[in-house]
Chains A and B, each alone.
Chain A
Amino acid sequence: MNRRKALSGLLKTGVLVAGAAGAGAVAGYLTGSVLSRPTEVGLTGESKPIKIGFQVHRTGIGAPYGFWYERVANAAVEYINRIGGIAGRPVQLIAEDDETSPARGAQVVERLVLVHNVDFIIGALFSDVVLSSGPRAGELKRPYFAVSEGTHVPFGLLNRWCFQPGITDVPGQVTAIAKWIFENLGKRVAIIFPDYAFGHDHRDALTKAAERYGARIVEQIPIPPGETSFTKYFPKIPREIDVLYHVMVGDVLTFVRELGVFLGRNRPEMFGFIDSIEAIPLTAPGLEFLEGTYFWEGFPRYLDGYDTPYNRFYRDVVGVDENGADRSDPSRVSAFSHMFSVWETLFVIKEVVEQSGYSEPNRRDYELFVKVLESMDWFNEGIWHPQGDKMFNGKLHQSFGHQFVSKVRNGRLVVVKRTEIEDSLYEHPNDYTAQPLY
């Protein structure tokens, strides 16, 4: 009886201590997040700041990207302020979490415009968030810059207030590299893709390219979102193919491991989009299977893949080392192929504001801003555009640029091809300039 009492006393004390520790941890986390909160980075100069709203995937499925997007945005704004801001005015970044949810995303657009009265919005990566946010931005008359690769901007699903100058879109990317795949890896292709728009964009663009180059898509395997076990779908991979094209997002480590066991050593050539393994080190257990396979990269993770002074400078400012990982924690790999889009978008805004003389969020200034942006046709490579030069199509509101093909060799990515801008061009009848702005 006594022992039991003592035991329960001990248990209670233990529970109390643990509870206090837990509460302390939560409190610490909260205080930490309040104090370290970089939501409003900027100068406190004498002139009125230019406010840039930023819809960021801090939580939810997009969090691995959101973390790096936010870091790049903060670094870019700090750098812009160091070199004199935009049109001599300091830049203030106002970032809010959209939980990677279309419902919340639309709400964040309203908050940014109506609570913070931002001049411009840098938008989301995930297509559903972009698609629900675009109409809100159009209605509230605020330029919205997607950083998403989706086809929603160029294919005219959104409106005249939505732009995507900072990153190339999926059809552009696939058009550019498909030719290389068919010429170097083979013409019989099976594609595994997520069963939503991003995956469908890949399927459609690849099918179109296959028609043009006389290749054949032997099998299409769409994977439902939220799937956590993949072996059951692998029997659909035909044996007589040359290339397995995979663009999986979600539970990618499980996917690669199970695929590795299933295919073993008799795998076909494999070509993937880096999107699957963004922010994941190639040395992660299970990824050895990817050795010798190929990836599309938007901007090579390893510096030697595209070693330019601008690239070095950009990595320095953002705090990323030559392996594409966090300077202060090399196990933390960046979303290098995508996050440059935030950097370049900020500099597009800077350039267009300075050229158009934009100063206030009003009709006259936005008309000037949009007119100048739509008349842009080229962004030069440099510190402002470290990924490379880009061609901008003012009717589609979309940029076209260079793409990279890399091979996994000894657990790192080695660039084997950099495509030309012309390789990625495609025709589309969309013309945003025909829409009224107001």
Chain B
Amino acid sequence: MKGLARTIVTFSIPAVLACIYPILPEYAKFFLARVMILSVYAYGYAICFQMLGMLSLGHAALFAAGMYGAGLYTIYASPSPLSALLMGVAAALAFSLAMGLLSTRVGGPFLTITTLLAAQALYLVALHFNEITGGEQGIVLGREATLVWPLSPWLGESDSRYLFSLVTLVIAVTGVWALSRSRLGKLFIAVRDDEEKLESLGYNTATLKLLGFALSGVYSGTAGALQALLYSYVGAGYAGILNSVEPVLWVLVGGPLIQVGPLLGCMLVNIIADLARGMLRGHVLIVGLGLVLIAFAAGRLSWAYRLLRRSTGLVS
């Protein structure tokens, strides 16, 4: 019973996104497609932050590693988007292993600072090798490097993008859902809640943390690679610190349920920003006020999380 409820809640938002697809206006399709890719990034961040309790401020580097891996491969090796996607994910995996090897070992606030510094270093390296990376200005990828290029003649730009992003999102959600049910996921949470106890039971927590960080990197890098391959642009701006802070906000806004929270938070923040942009001049101010209000609501809403958790057994 609990298992069923959990599954239903987990897949409810993607199901809604699939159901409303036929009635969506054109812009909403583009907008939601964009947000769905960002949600994959949010899930990646949540694996690190919510499951393992590691507050990273350097995930932009993992996102950017995926983006540069895919983008640079496209430009300098082959315009085949599928192999570029794999290259992007591989680059993010490699970078997250390197970064995780240091960061997860130093732990706590030092994890936060080492991830931040490593990300800033990657950002500056991208600037320094401007001739190759395009630096701050970035590089445009050719039309044939776009992932949905083969689909668009049949489906059109918006539909192909929306469906592609939706499928990606469902895969990502399924992954997180499976992870939270699995033994590995439970071990991750045990690392977060009581590392010493787990160690005394004979588990190698260092390896678990590194594994979690790398998994988080794969998610983030996939999002980065897809961003490049769907929107034909690679630039150092995505490695900047603001892109590290955004997923923290999404995850915090989304609340403690790891299966739905990241998606919910990412959607909510982006929808608020987009609506405000259309309505007002000072839309950044509205986003600021919105975050403060959500912070208040988050305090009040903790009972709701507890209730949901009890009734569905969702991991928080």
Contacts and interface: CB of A to CB of B under 8 A. Distances in A.
A130 to B, nearest CB: 8
Interface centre among B27, B238, B274, B285 (most CB of A within 10 A): B27
Given A128-B235, A132-B233, A152 B137 contact: yes
A197 B136 contact: yes
B30 interface: yes
A131 B137 contact: yes
Contact of B280 (A33, A127, A136, A159): A33
Given A33-B281, A197-B130, 16 more contacts: A26-B285, A33-B280, A97-B284, A102-B138, A102-B233, A106-B231, A131-B134, A131-B139, A134-B140, A135-B141, A135-B231, A152-B140, A195-B135, A196-B236, A197-B137, A225-B136
A58 B139 CA distance: 24
A157 B130 contact: no
B127 A131 contact: no
B272 to A, nearest CB: 14
Interface of B: 25-27, 30-31, 34, 124, 127-128, 130, 134-141, 143, 157-158, 231-233, 235-238, 274, 277-278, 280-285, 289
Contact of A195 (B27, B127, B158, B281): B127
Given A97-B283, A103-B238, A128-B138, A114 B27 contact: yes
Contact of A29 (B127, B232, B284, B285): B285
Contacts of B236: 128, 196
A147 B138 CA distance: 18
Given A195-B135, A196-B136, A197-B130, A106 B277 contact: no
A196 B127 contact: yes
A135 B127 contact: no
Interface centre among B137, B138, B235, B237 (most CB of A within 10 A): B137
B130 to A, nearest CB: 6
Contacts of B25: 114
Contacts of A128: 136-138, 235-237
B280 A34 contact: yes
21 contacts: A26-B285, A29-B282, A33-B282, A34-B281, A39-B281, A58-B281, A59-B284, A97-B277, A97-B281, A102-B235, A108-B277, A110-B31, A135-B140, A135-B233, A136-B231, A158-B140, A195-B128, A197-B136, A200-B130, A225-B127, A225-B136
Q: Chain A interface residue count: which class? A: 35 or more
Nearest to A58: B281
A96 interface: yes
B281 A107 contact: no
A101 interface: yes
A224 B124 CA distance: 8
A139 B232 CA distance: 10
**Smallest CB-CB A-B distances: 5 pairs:** A197-B137, A114-B27, A196-B136, A135-B232, A33-B281
A365 B284 CA distance: 37
B135 A196 contact: yes
Contact of B278 (A33, A102, A111, A225): A111
A99 interface: yes
A152 B139 CA distance: 10
Interface in A114-166: 114-115, 127-128, 131-132, 134-136, 138-140, 150, 152, 157-159
A377 to B, nearest CB: 27
A133 to B, nearest CB: 9
A198 interface: yes
Given A33-B282, A115-B278, A197 B237 contact: no
B27 A111 contact: yes
A96 B284 CA distance: 12
A35 to B, nearest CB: 10
A36 B110 CA distance: 47
A30 B280 contact: yes
Nearest to B28: A114
A58 B281 CA distance: 8
Contacts of A157: 139-140
Contacts of A111: 27, 274, 277-278
